[in-house]
Structure 1
Amino acid sequence: MWAPYARDVRLRLDDEVIAMRATSGGWWVADRIAEPGMRYGYELFDGENWSQTLPDPRTTSQPDGVHGLSEVTDPHFDWTAEWTGRPLAGQVLYELHVGTFTPEGTFDGVIGKLGYLRDLGVTAIELMPVQPFGGERNWGYDGVEWLAVHAGYGGPEGLKRLVDAAHAAGIGVILDVVYNHFGPDGNYNGMFGPYTAGGSTGWGEVVNISGHDSDEVRRFILDSVRQWLAEFRFDGLRLDAVHSLDDTGAYSIMEQIQEVADDVTARTGVPRHIIAESDLNDPRLITERDGGGYGLAGQWVDDIHHALHTIVSGERHAYYEDFGSLDALAKTLRGGFYFDGTYSSYRGRTHGRPIDVRSIPAHRLVTYTTTHDQTGNRARGDRPSMNLTPAQQVLKAAVIYCSPFTPMLFMGEEFGAQTPFAFFCSHTDENLNRLTSEGRKREFSRSGWDHAEVPDPADPATFEMSRLDWDFTEEQQEIHAAYRELLRLRRELGLSRADLSRLTVETGDGWLAMGWEDVILVANLSDAEVRAPYGGELIYSFTEPEVGLDDTRLGPWEFALLRR
């Protein structure tokens, strides 16, 4: 165990206390063989006092929560699926929160929905973080033990069952991981060593990946990456908010993470994908390493979401203030980024850098109509489907799924869910719960929302109302059928084409046309009737537009997918 801050360390193994000896580099060793099922913790001496018994920062199991003893796990698992993986190109991702996706709120509950997801057209599920957090209810971004699995979801054994079952169903699995901060509840790492470096990300103290003694913290992260990809057989990782990493070394931690993924791919023959969430609009993340980039498989692109959301919803507050025009949407569909070295009034500065669409394939950009962030980081956690008509919802889906980028759904959007997805937590410290609630209200007040609308994150009712309701209404069945058809057509028409430079995007008075030589989407992004100068054979529409040989008449929020 790495504890350079400690003067002395002892191991508590079940009811036995064992002295540990110091080795080089701040590491301590106990001469015992770790056997599966052992419960243990560490006690640190600071020169005056011994600490309470603390969980292992590198624990792989916390049966009694983040404050309890750690448990030695057996990495062996009887895998059954013969899975060869698949490239990111052509995939359809589905983001879900294990605790609210099903009534069970467990990995086994997700297993029960795999057939539904496969029939919908999903090729990979993306799990929001599953590392242990304080309490039983949390989005997962307050994790404190980066190699363990939340016991309430089913622990490490349950997670492996899910991955194995998904692979047997022909579905890949991506895990959302947080390496930019530790959660506030159960975070004892700072008692062991310099896991953090001062300063705040807004969610917690900055993780020490570039400062003094940061080599071991980097190794901690890279060992976590290898565990998820190799032992748990995840097909990829989604890196949370990489713009908040204090990454100033000559070798970026993202580049090193990609090297681990490449090594696991080479050893197993199964592709592993690293996808970043970034607010930097920096194409270096997805540029190949021989071109000076980090070589990541993909990154989320909020600009496309913002451009589409503002037009359909009419919202222009906070970070939406720079969007709202058809020209903005067209620019993002042509090149991914709206801010590509241009001025952002929201940021008050020039932002971003253009993507070279001739060298970066379109599938490296992950797009969506909404995400856990874009829904949950609203005052009430209200979904777009709670505010838009079915025609508007399906129109947004058509724009995303007919684009060449890698699409991602957020759980429930495919049937127009009417349950919110609010922010929730259940810290074991009531003061933390109070501070979290107050912080959310201040944040929303600055964005123009009424803080009275913000539900208490620690109230169990906030979590319960965020569970999906799987009892579809007739209207929801129609929306679900439309999503399923759009995803089928995306696959059969081969709309996930790599060469973004060949995509045609044109706009007119209220309309947008996007497509290739053989197929084109014509969409009315307004509440008035429009006539667009594109005609052909109607392949699909959610409504009944008037399609001619040379033009198409669309009612408010209508679209037509045409064969030229």
Structure 2
Amino acid sequence: MPTVGHRHLDAEHSEFRVYAPGKNSLAVVLQADGSRHPLTAAADGWWTGRLPRLLAGTLYRIAVDGRALPDPASRYQPKGVHGPSMVVEVEPAHSPGWTGVAMADAIIYELHLGTFTAEGTLAAAQARLPYLRDLGINVVELLPIAAFPGERNWGYDGTYLFALHAGYGSWADLKAFIEAAHEQGLAVVLDVVYNHFGPEGNYAGAFAPYTKAAATPWGAAINFDDAWNHGVREFFLENLRFWLEDVGFDGLRMDAVSLIFDNMPVHILREFTDLAREIARRQEREIITIAEHLRNNRHVTADPGFNYHAQWNDDLNHALYAHLTGETARHYANFGRFDDVVKALQSGFVLDGTRLCHHYHYFLGTDGRQTQASEHVVHIQDHDQVGNRPLGDRMIATHGRDKALLGITAVMASPFVPMLFMGEEYGETAPFLFFEDFSDPAIVEGCREGRKADVGGRVVPPDPHARSSFVASKLNWALADSTGGAGVLDYYRQLIALKRSGSLGPRDMAAVRVRGDEASGLITVEAPRTLTLMNFSDQSLECPLPPGWVPQLSSASGATSNRQLPPYTALICRRA
């Protein structure tokens, strides 16, 4: 597949390829001397041209019908989303012998580069990789790193999908990060946004109909099935190939794919997964694909279907959170019952087509028992579940240690793929707020009002444009060394070790037997080598162990009896 944007064709030439159907003229304009280098149109809407080889660091724009704009396929925007594009050398990560991590073995850690460390850079995050290895993590999932406006953003407002956000570092820094992760036994997965462009700095529409009108939270959707969609499809497929092959990521998590609309004969989502699997076969390594679909549709991971390896499943999170905390608004409106937790552990989907969804107002979902355990990524926290709360508060900060550790025990005891959100493993209490750094006053005010409307006037959320919201969201690593933080961290390490060994929550729904007793609040999860007892009540329970089982790990903070299970605690037992 030919590239888009700039590439070094050979030792003597650079080549540009830009999609701009219906335009009258295109030219590459070099910043240094203002020289213009015309491109030639083909009938399919693609424009191409050769120039003498451009050195790395060369700044340029693409003039479309006389209007000089950044390259939609820019690889670097050193002066921001409104500035010129830069020619860069992108070298793929080189990790001899590395074959990746299979979805069925994954322990995922989701992190945001800007708040993971004080520096907020790839280089600083790289220094923390041995810590993640020692924790037991084997897959690091980065929130989007494509260029976005200003200094700070979650990343879902990206406008140059091939460009690394300059504030995170250089392409060499990213290469070093991926290679260092591989040396520690960690795969690196990138979160990509293929459902919309950000609201500021997106000039793609001046070149081609990249978007179309649609009912989404962000306005226009990507044009995968309207007029001139073939070049748009190629642009996004090439972006997927670029991150996996030219950069060297081990997989992709795709944001909100249920809002990717396509009526073409082969859905673009299937084209994405087919391409990823073809690259994996050719390079003889594991490349995993994860979908955020959130409609509990088993066809997302089925073949025939979209054929993703896994999809984010929020039902266990919502069931646990609503039942443990009593919160039944917003995300948790469909949940709160004891049986919801039991069903989520047993079959993955609580909303399985048999219950009216109070958010969408239709019978949402399919039967999770028709899926494999490794097709579900589960959690008690992620960037959305924390960051879209009015105050960005974490579970442990608002509802305490006992409920937070009970929740993560249920996640690990389930047969599904567990995911942690950065900092939860040592009990981080700093919020993860929504933050941005747009320069357009109308967009800034729109974000402020949107956040207020989203929380329904119950509280006033922190100003997303204030830099203080970004700074407040940074992890406080000193907490990991405190007495309380070290205790939580040790519990997480032991949980993860049991999970990776296959003793706790083996990745097979048939091998995990879940029982619930609503009268007492006790849920038991039995696997061949472990028995997990979880007390979801506010009373101590008499829990004499069945014959042949002995205690192995308790979430309780103090000494406990082998026969007593304190409120909101878990006890993991092993066979004698």
Aligned-partner Cα distance in 2 for 1:158–1:65? 19
* Whole-angstrom distance in 2 between the partners of 1:496 and 1:286: 21
Provide the residue aligned with 1:449 in structure 2. 458
Correspondence 1:352-363 to 2 at 5 A: 352-357=365-370, 360-363=371-374
* Aligned pair partner of 1:165 in 180, 185, 206: 180
User: Which residue does 1:321 correspond to in 2?
Assistant: 333
Q: Deviations over 1:353-390 (max 9, x none)?
A: 11244xx3212210111000000001111111211222
2:418 corresponds, among 407, 410, 423, to: 407
Letter in 2 for 1:501: A
Give the secondary-structure state (helix, strand or coil) at the position aligned to 2:191: strand
Is residue 37 of structure 1 aligned with residue 57 of structure 2? yes
- In structure 1, what is the equivalent of residue 104 of structure 2? 89
The CA distance in 2 between the partners of 1:296 and 1:197, in whole Å, is: 25
Please list, as runs of the form range in 1=range in 2, the aligned pairs for 1:188-337 lying within 5 A after superposition: 188-287=203-302, 289=303, 292-337=304-349
User: Residues 158 and 198 of structure 2 are in contact (CA less than 8 Å); yes or no, is this contact kept in structure 1?
Assistant: yes
Pairing 1:125–2:140 present:
yes
Aligned to 2:477: 470
Partner of 1:151: 166
> Is 1:490 aligned with 2:499?
yes
Conserved in 2, the CA contact under 8 Å of 1:326 and 1:512?
no
Compared CA separation, residues 344 and 533, structure 1 to 2 (3 A): farther
Q: CA deviation at 1:155?
A: 3.1
The Cα of 1:559 is off from its aligned counterpart by 1.1
Aligned pair partner of 1:116 in 102, 123, 131: 131
Given the superposition, is the C-alpha separation of residues 249 and 496 from structure 1 closer, same or farther in structure 2, using an over 3 Å criterion? farther
> For the residues of structure 2 that align with 1:406 and 1:84, how far apart are their CA atoms?
19
Instruction: Letter of the 2:25 partner, please give it.
Output: D
Please say if 1:419 is aligned against 2:430. Answer: yes
Residue 440 (structure 1) aligned with residue 451 (structure 2): yes
Task: Kindly provide the amino acid, as one letter, of the partner of residue 112 in structure 2.
Answer: H
What SS does structure 1 have at the residue aligned with 2:368? coil
Q: Is contact 1:160-1:232 (8 Å) kept?
A: yes
Change (3 A) 1:220 1:418: same
> 199-208 or 530-539: which moved more?
530-539
**Structure 1 residues 356 and 493: alpha-carbon distance in aligned structure 2, compared to 1, 3 A threshold:** closer
In the alignment, is the contact (CA less than 8 A) between 1:334 and 1:501 conserved in 2? no
Which amino acid in 2 is paired with 1:191? A
Which residue of 364, 370, 373 maps to 2:375?
364
- What residue in structure 2 maps to residue 25 of structure 1? 44
Decide whether aligned partners of structure 1 residues 355 and 493 sit closer, same or farther in structure 2, where only a CA change above 3 A counts: closer
Partners of 2:505 and 2:273 lie apart in 1 by 24
Task: Decide whether the 8 Å contact of 1:511 with 1:532 is kept in 2.
Answer: no
CA spacing shift, 1:250–1:20, aligned 2, 3 Å: closer
Residue type matched to 2:554 in 1? S
Cα 1:528/1:155, change in 2 over 3 Å: same
1:344 correspondence with 2:354:
no
> Contact (CA 8 Å) 1:132, 1:144: kept in 2 or not?
yes
Cα distance in 2, alignment partners of residues 246 and 28 from structure 1: 27
Q: Distance in 2 between matches of 1:86 and 1:522?
A: 30
- 1:99 aligns to what SS in structure 2? helix
Aligned-pair distance for 1:18? Answer: 2.3
Using the TM superposition, give the Cα deviation of residue 467 of structure 1 relative to its aligned residue in structure 2, in angstroms.
Answer: 0.5
**Native 8 Å contact 1:197 1:208 kept in 2:** yes
CA contact (8 A) 2:93 2:247 kept: no
CA distance in 1, matches of 2:330, 2:224: 31
Deviation readout 1:13-63 (Å, 9 max, x if unpaired):
232122332222112223314533322111222xxxx32x21111111111
Q: Supply the AA of the counterpart residue of 1:559.
A: A
The whole-number CA distance in structure 2 between the counterparts of 1:440 and 1:56 is: 32
* Structure 1 stretch displaced more, 96-105 or 496-505: 496-505
Query: Cα offset for 1:102?
Result: 0.4
- Distance (Å, rounded) in 2 between the aligned partners of 1:426 and 1:352: 37
CA distance in 2, matches of 1:386, 1:78: 38
The 2-side partners of 1:398 and 1:374 are apart by: 18
1:454-491 deviations in whole A, cap 9, x for unaligned?
Answer: 01111010101011011123111111111111111222
Following the alignment from structure 2 to structure 1, what is the Cα–Cα distance between the partners of residues 384 and 440? 25
Distance, in Å, in 2 between the alignment partners of 1:389 and 1:220 is 46
* Number of the residue aligned with 2:82: 67
1:157 is displaced (CA, Å) by: 2.2
> Residues 80, 285 of structure 1: CA spacing in aligned structure 2 closer, same or farther, 3 A cutoff?
closer
Please state if 1:8 is matched with 2:21. no
Whether the 8 Å contact between 1:81 and 1:168 is mirrored in structure 2 is no
SS of the residue corresponding to residue 349 of structure 1 reads: coil
**Structure 1: unaligned runs, 5 residues or longer:** none
For 2:202 and 2:500, how far apart are their aligned partners in 1?
45
Q: Contact 1:183–1:204 (CA<8 Å) still a contact in 2?
A: no
Q: Which residue identity lines up with residue 303 of structure 1 in the other structure?
A: D
How far 1:120 sits from its partner (Å)? Answer: 0.6
The CA distance in 2 between the partners of 1:341 and 1:373, in whole Å, is: 24
2:541 is aligned with 1:530: yes
Q: Sort the Cα spacing of 1:525 and 1:78 in 2 relative to 1 into closer, same or farther, 3 A.
A: closer
Per the TM alignment, residue 113 of structure 1 is displaced from its structure 2 partner at its CA by 0.2
Alignment-mate amino acid for residue 124 of structure 1: V
In structure 2, how many angstroms separate the alpha carbons of the residues matched to 1:531 and 1:241? 44
Q: Retained in 1: the 8 A contact 2:147–2:166?
A: yes
Whole-angstrom distance in 2 between the partners of 1:436 and 1:78: 37
Question: Which 10-residue stretch deviates more, 491-500 or 505-514?
Answer: 491-500
Residue 498 of structure 1: how far off its partner (Å): 3.3
Q: TM (normalized to structure 2)?
A: 0.92
Q: For the aligned residues, what is the CA RMSD?
A: 1.6
Q: Aligned partner of 1:537: which letter?
A: V
Unaligned runs of 5+ in 2: 1-17
**What SS class does the counterpart of residue 491 from structure 1 fall into?**
helix
3-state SS of paired residue (2:278)? helix
- Alpha-carbon offset, residue 437 of structure 1: 0.8
What TM-score do you get using the length of structure 1 for normalisation?
0.94
Check 1:257–1:333 CA distance in 2 against 1; reply closer, same or farther (3 A cut). same
> Is 137-146 or 317-326 further displaced after alignment?
317-326
Distance 1:250 1:280 in 2: 22
Distance (Å, rounded) in 1 between the aligned partners of 2:145 and 2:100: 22
Displacement after TM superposition at 1:496 (Å): 4.7
Q: What is the rounded CA distance, in whole Å, between the counterparts of 2:360 and 2:42 in structure 1?
A: 48
- CA distance in 1 between counterparts of 2:52 and 2:318 reads 54
Q: Is the 8 A contact 2:45 2:231 kept in 1?
A: no
